Structure 1
Amino acid sequence: MPFHVSSPPSGDAVELVAHLIQMALTPVFLLSAIGTLLGLFNTRLARVSDHMEHITELLDADTSGSDKARLTSQLSRLKSRTLMLDASIALGAIGGASTCGAAFALFLGGVRNTQVAGWLFTLFGVALGCAVFSLIAFLGDSLLAWHGLHRDGAMPRPPKA
């Protein structure tokens, strides 16, 4: 079934304008959400990087064997978190670029009165898929952080019933 961007759901002019506004706003909201997530991911990555730098400084200082093992374990976990956050940022950026591509395809379809359904489906699908996988990678970072807090004793475990 071909998709024409410029054809309204019905012949009414008000419905045409409402349809065009709806199509134009969908990518904008997704792009805004992805931009917010990218800001969150970057802030979290900066904090993890600062923590890694601090632990590296502590390791470079003279530390006892048990402290050195604990710090090395923390550094390893922080490296894993960095990889998760890097993946979140990369996937979010690809999702944002795909959203911009979908908006551009909508624009071209409206201006040139062409069929852009394949491009829209692909670009918007990539954008949504990357956003989902970006959030999954962020969840991985969150689980690593939570596990690390429990393992290091920073958060007490709930009492057993």
Structure 2
Amino acid sequence: MHAEFGPDLNMVISVLQTALTPAFLLVAVGSLLNVLTGRLSRIIDRSRDLQTLHATTEGESHQRVVSELRIIERRMRVVGSSILFAVLSAIAVCVMISLLFLMGLTQFSAPWIAVAVFMLALLLLVACLLQFVHEIRLATYAIYVPEEYLELPEKTRRKG
């Protein structure tokens, strides 16, 4: 006579397959976090360079430095919130995986909770991506190329 002390192997394998499928989302969020932290690092480096220039510039050049520093400060906040949303999304995915394990290996059944947590993870990921696009737009706006470097014909020069 053999006593059963837990779920059988087939059930465990099935639960593992089901619960670990969302883990692929964790890989994607991790890659996104890597990109975001890299951008934050570059923003911080640029901020330090501009702060050094701040003390040595005058006139129009100084105004460009100040303007870019203001944009840099906004970019840091936007990237920071994007990182926060990505981390919260990853945490939600981990909670969902835990719920799937719990439901698969016990009598607890609340699939609507797992669906709600998954939807939350996706919404947080969307918020992260929207902030990421916002930061890219800010970065593009911050770039100033002096007209003399563009070597534009007279009729296409910037006004103003």
Match of 1:30 among 22, 25, 43: 25
SS in structure 2 opposite 1:108? helix
Instruction: Return the TM-score normalized by structure 2.
Output: 0.79
What does 1:1-161 correspond to in 2, within 5 Å? 20=15, 22-59=17-54, 61-149=55-143, 152-153=144-145
**In structure 1, what is the Cα distance between the partners aligned to 2:53 and 2:97?**
49
Do the aligned residues in 1 keep the contact of 2:79 with 2:132 (CA within 8 Å)?
yes
Measured after TM superposition, the shift of residue 68 of structure 1 is 1.0
Instruction: Tell whether the 8 Å contact from 2:86 to 2:128 is kept in structure 1 after alignment.
Output: yes
Which amino acid in the other structure matches residue 110 of structure 1? G
**Structure 1 residue 76, shift from structure 2 partner:** 0.6
The residue identity in structure 1 corresponding to 2:30 is G
Residue 84 of structure 1 and its aligned partner are, at CA, apart by: 1.1
* TM-score, normalised by the number of residues in structure 1: 0.78
8 Å Cα contact 1:41-1:85 kept in structure 2: yes
Contact 1:106 1:116 in 2 (8 A): no
- Decide whether the 8 Å contact of 2:15 with 2:105 is kept in 1: no
Question: Runs of 5+ in structure 2 lacking a partner?
Answer: 1-9
Which protein has the larger Cα radius of gyration, Structure 1 or Structure 2?
2
| Amino acid aligned to 2:86 | G
The number of residue pairs the alignment matches comes to 141
Q: Structure 1 residues 21-30 or 99-108, which shifts more?
A: 21-30
Percent identity reads 29
1:20 and 1:87 map into 2 onto residues whose CA distance is: 34
